[in-house]
């Protein structure tokens, strides 16, 4: 009985293997048929004309240009403010006025400071008179000391009288030094009040050289009571302006000082200004991943003003007589970047892997391999290497502008993919 059961199990096992083998063979046949159909589809697809547009490969100059936006700032700006407090008696400049270094901007009420100068002069005169008195007293003490020394040699004056004369001479000499110090002190005090009196006249600092200074803002009016360092006016240097733009991380390695820039603004449509990169920030802001770039722009005609919105073009590189194709012609096939060259005689498209150089707007530079002829710019998403192409205004047989097919068909109609012409 056990032997019969073992035979039954073996027959069941071999039956299962035969069934699985049959299923595997059927699956393989289905796969082979599908692969053959796919290959046949691809082979047939290459023979189906694809309507495309083409453009010629050009030899021309191409530039790598970065485009940015920013704002204008004055090359130099500072605030004119008094160093002392007082009432603003006169203000000589207003918004928009031109101003030069050293010009008198405003005058404070200086009556109190004039009185202080007069008092300091009087105290100096008192100190000078005291100095003169001490000099005379010292001369008398010196003569008395010399006379006492002579009498002591003759044994007429006593030792105590000589000591007293010597002590008086030294005392008057010390008092003379004090008087001289007092005179110096009063002269220094006089200079201080004179400086404070000069501070009542507020001028543009001479330590700010430059041209085309203009009053930007006025902060106070005549008659106002001012504390020290209260802003009166702001002064701007407009002979040269600074355009500040921010560049992204991708463009940052291309930025360097002395790059020439072209600047435009909505205030003057069609007019451009030339500038130069002067400063490049050594860091990128963490939040924006952008770096600050400063560009100096000569403003001889005084057309540009601080605060204007500007568009800046920076030329990073320029290649002359480069091989250039439209950027629309660039495609990817199997991870390779390339183009489809159009063979107009055979009506075929050939895929060529390329190395791209400068890309500027609608144009792209092809570094290698060398190419000539025409490239496909529209319809290449349906193409494979060796696909048949159909140009606008032409049919698969090469006829141009002739009516074919049903009467009333539109001239130059481009058949859709897989459609008979």
- Please name which of 389, 397, 395, 393 lies closest in space to residue 412, comparing C-alpha atoms: 393
The string of pLDDT tens digits covering residues 300-342 is: 889 999 999 999 999 888 889 999 999 999 999 888 899 999 9
pLDDT at site 381: 85
Candidate from 231-240, 298-307, 311-320, 395-404 with smallest mean pLDDT: 395-404
What pLDDT score does 421 carry?
34
The b/e string for 378-399 (b: 16+ C-beta within 10 A; e otherwise) is ebbeebeeebbbbbeebbeeee
The CATH classification of domain 241-318, taken from the options 2.40.50.100, 2.40.30.170, 3.40.50.11260, 2.40.40.20: 2.40.30.170
Q: 10 Å Cβ neighbour count for 116?
A: 18
Alpha-carbon Rg for the chain, nearest whole angstrom, is 49
Q: Between β-strands 86-91 and 201-203, what pairing exists: parallel, antiparallel or unpaired?
A: unpaired
Taking only the tens place, the pLDDT of each residue in 185-210 is 999 999 999 999 999 999 988 765 55
pLDDT of residue 410 exceeding 50, the answer is no
How far apart, in whole angstroms, are the C-alpha atoms of residue 320 and residue 317?
10
Q: What is the pLDDT of residue 8?
A: 67
DSSP assigned state of 394: B
b/e per residue 257-283 (b: at least 16 CB within 10 A) = eebebebebeeeeeeebebebeeeeee
Which of the four pLDDT bands, split at 50, 70 and 90, describes residue 411?
Answer: very low
Write down the mean pLDDT value for the chain: 84
Q: What is the pLDDT of residue 154?
A: 81
The pLDDT assigned to 35 comes to 65
With 90 as the cut, is the pLDDT of residue 290 above it? yes
- Summarised one tens digit per residue, pLDDT across range 245-288 is 999 998 899 899 999 999 999 999 999 999 999 999 999 998 89
1-46 pLDDT, tens per residue?
A: 566 676 767 767 767 787 777 787 777 777 676 666 555 555 555 5
Give pLDDT, residue 317: 83
CATH number of 47-62+320-390: 2.40.420.20
How many angstroms separate the first and last alpha carbons of the chain?
Answer: 78
**Is the pLDDT higher at 209 or at 365?**
365
What's the pLDDT score for residue 204? 86
Length of the chain: 421
pLDDT above 50: residue 343: yes
How much is the pTM? 0.61
Check pLDDT > 50 for residue 234.
Answer: yes
| The token pair that represents 216 in the structure block | 């930007």
DSSP 249-294: TTTGGG--TT-EEEEEETTSTT-EEEEEEEEE-SS--TTT-EEEEE
pLDDT at 418 over 50: no
- Tokens 């009467």, residue located: 407
CA triple 101-102-104, angle to 5 deg:
120
Kindly list the distances between the CA atom of residue 104 and the CA atoms of 99, 148, 206, 209, 212, in Å, as whole numbers in the listed order: 9, 65, 11, 16, 17
């Amino acid at each position: 009985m056990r032997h019969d059961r073992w035979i039954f199990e073996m027959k069941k096992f071999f039956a299962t293997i035969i069934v699985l083998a049959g299923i595997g063979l059927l699956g393989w046949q289905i796969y082979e048929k599908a692969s053959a159909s796919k290959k046949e589809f691809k082979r047939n697809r290459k023979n189906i004309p694809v309507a495309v547009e083409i453009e010629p490969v050009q030899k021309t100059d191409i530039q790598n240009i970065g485009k940015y936006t920013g704002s204008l700032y004055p090359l130099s700006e500072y605030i004119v403010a008094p160093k002392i407090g007082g009432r603003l008696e006169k203000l000589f400049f207003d918004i928009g006025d031109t101003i030069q270094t050293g010009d008198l901007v405003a005058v404070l009420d200086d009556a109190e400071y004039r009185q202080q100068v007069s008092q300091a002069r009087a105290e100096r005169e008192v100190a000078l008179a005291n100095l003169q008195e001490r000099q005379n007293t010292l001369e008398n003490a010196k003569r008395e000391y010399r006379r006492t020394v002579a009498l002591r040699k003759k044994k007429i004056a006593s030792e105590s009288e000589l000591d007293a004369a010597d002590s008086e001479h030294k005392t008057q000499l010390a008092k003379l030094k004090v008087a001289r110090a007092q005179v110096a002190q009063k002269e220094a005090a006089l200079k201080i009040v004179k400086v404070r009196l000069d501070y009542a006249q507020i001028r543009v600092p001479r330590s700010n050289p430059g041209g085309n200074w203009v009053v930007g803002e006025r902060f106070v009016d005549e008659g106002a009571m001012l504390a020290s360092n209260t802003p009166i006016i702001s002064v701007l240097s407009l002979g040269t302006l600074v355009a500040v733009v921010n560049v992204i991380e991708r463009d940052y390695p291309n930025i360097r000082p002395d790059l020439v820039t072209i600047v435009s603004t909505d205030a003057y449509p069609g007019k451009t200004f030339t500038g130069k990169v002067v400063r490049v920030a050594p860091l990128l802001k963490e939040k924006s991943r952008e770096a600050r770039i400063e560009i100096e722009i000569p403003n001889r005609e005084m057309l540009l003003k601080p605060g204007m919105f500007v568009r800046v073009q920076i030329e990073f590189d320029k290649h002359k007589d480069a091989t250039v194709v439209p950027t629309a012609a660039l495609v990817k096939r199997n991870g390779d970047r390339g183009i489809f060259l159009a063979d107009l005689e055979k009506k075929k498209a050939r895929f060529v892997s390329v190395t791209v150089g400068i890309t500027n707007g609608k144009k792209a530079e092809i570094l290698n391999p060398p190419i000539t002829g025409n490239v496909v710019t529209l319809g290449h998403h349906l193409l494979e290497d060796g696909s048949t192409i159909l140009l606008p205004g032409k049919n698969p047989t090469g006829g141009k502008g002739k009516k074919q097919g049903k009467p009333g068909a539109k001239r130059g109609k481009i058949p859709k993919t897989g459609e008979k012409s």
